[in-house]
Amino acid sequence: MSVLQALDVGLAFLVFAVAAWTVFAPGPFAATVGYVVYGLLLSLVWIRLFAVDVALTEAAIGSGVTGVLLIGAAARLRGAETTPAEEALTGLTRLFAAGLCLLVAAALAAVVLLLPDQGPTLAPQSMERLPETGLGNPVTAVLIAFRSFDTMLEKVVLVLGVVGVWSLAADRYWGGAPGEARAERPEPTLAFFAQVLAPIGILVGVHVFWVGADEPGGAFQGGAILAAMWMIVMMARLTEAPQASAFWLRLALIAGPAVFLAAGVAGAVVAGGFFAYPPGLAKPLILFIETFMTFTIAVTLPMLVAGPPRREPRR
């Protein structure tokens, strides 16, 4: 067994152990911290699977932004834990559930073991058509060109998520601002951190978006880092979330999917197919769409984390 294999086995055990902790931890907060650690370890696993784009997404969204969402929720739910005796399943049900889950896991494991070493693949086709898009990163090409309909609809899902979260607001807060208000005297440590980090993070976010055309990276990852920067500035209470009724905010939330859809329709007229890009113009068009998508992601993710409006709207 080589050192690399030993490392893989160790990493696999570690991921499994932390996941088990997340399920079996004594309290919800302990479980949530376990989940954040788990997200971080998962991005190491993705590196080992040579899926650097996925690793970057997992690091930014799976670990960073989700961590803020879940830890914030766990801290707010402190004291709301139900007593175990009140709701715990009986031993027999528990055993039955465990058996079922074991069965599902075993079936899936069998499928994994039965997979052929060289599976069916779309990699040659992707590489063959890659030059037509002008991009160097096949994953970005799949996202924005080859399977663009998927990606556009996925942006729509994000918008629907925001609509769902906002609709949970109490009636009198409808249209108001979510999250905490801006503080007159922000906590100095967090304020300093946010002030130093935000410019660097914005630079890195734009960098990750820009190199995504040719190297690992792209709109999702760059947008998530930008989103995180807005979140830290709001967490430091240097600024506050905009009102849900703000026109510019609603415009920003739909800018990505709207531009994407418009490009798709334009493709149907000009290039002879829905979501077809005219040859030669593909790369500038893709970057144009990606710019708006990055912007929309950077606005949408903080709104999802901020939750429903919690303050009365100002007129």
Partner 1 sequence: MSSATLAGLVGAALVGLGLYGVIADPQPLRKILAFNLIGSGVFLVFGIVARKGAAAGLSADPVPQAMVITGIVVAFAASALAVALTLRLFEETGRATLRPDAGTKPPDDGADAE
Partner 2 sequence: MSDFLLATAGAILFTVAVGLVRILGGPGDADRMMAAQLIGTGGIASLLLIAAATGARGVDDVALGLAILAAFASAAFVNSGAPAEEPDPNPADDR
Partner 3 sequence: MSLALDLFSIAAISAGVFFFLAGTVGLLRFPDALSRLHALTKADNLGLGLIVLGLLPRAESLLAALMLVAIWALVQLAGATAAQLIGRAVRRKGPAI
Binding site for partner 2 (CB under 8 A): 2-4, 6-7, 10-11, 14, 17-18, 21, 25-26, 29-30, 33-34, 36-37, 40-41, 43-44, 47-48, 50, 52-53, 55-56, 59-60, 63-65, 67-68, 71-73, 75-76, 78, 180-181, 183-185, 188-190, 193, 197, 200-201, 204, 207-208, 211, 215-217, 221, 225, 228, 231-232, 235-237
| AA letter at 246 | A
CA distances from 162 to 63, 83, 266, 301 (A): 20, 32, 27, 9
The entry of partner 3, partner 1, partner 2, none that residue 192 binds, CB within 5 to 8 Å by partner kind? partner 3
CA distances from 190 to 142, 210, 241, 304 (A): 39, 29, 17, 22
Using CB under 8 A as the binding criterion, the count of chain residues that bind partner 1 stands at 103
Q: Which of 3, 91, 92, 118 binds partner 1 (CB under 8 A)?
A: 118
Would you say 63 or 148 has its CB closer to partner 2? 63
The entry of partner 3, partner 1, partner 2, none that residue 185 binds, CB within 5 to 8 Å by partner kind? partner 2
* Contact criterion met (CB below 8 Å) for 257 and 296: yes
Q: Is 90 exposed, middle or buried (0-12, 13-18, 19+ CB in 10 A)?
A: exposed
Any contact of residue 17 with partner 1 (CB under 8 A)? no
Would you say 219 or 259 has its CB closer to partner 1? 219
The entry of partner 1, partner 2, partner 3, none that residue 47 binds, CB within 5 to 8 Å by partner kind? partner 2
Beta-carbon contacts of residue 305 (< 8 Å; ≥ 6 apart): 65, 68, 69, 72, 231
Site string for partner 3, 184-213 (x = CB under 8 A): -----xx-xx--xx--x-------------
Q: Which of residues 259-298 bind partner 1 (CB under 8 A)?
A: 297
Q: Give the other-Cβ count within 10 Å of 273's Cβ.
A: 10
End-to-end CA distance of the chain: 68
Rounded Cα gap, residues 309 and 7, in angstroms: 46
Smallest CA-to-CA distance from 287 within 206, 199, 204 is with 206
Q: Which of residues 42-61 bind partner 1 (CB under 8 A)?
A: 42, 45-46, 48-51, 53-54, 57-58, 61
Give me the least distance between CB of 119 and partner 1, in Å please: 4
Would you say 72 or 161 has its CB closer to partner 2? 72
CA distances from 238 to 21, 61, 187, 189, 234 (A): 36, 23, 9, 12, 6
Q: Which residues form the interface with partner 3 (CB under 8 A)?
A: 189-190, 192-193, 196-197, 200
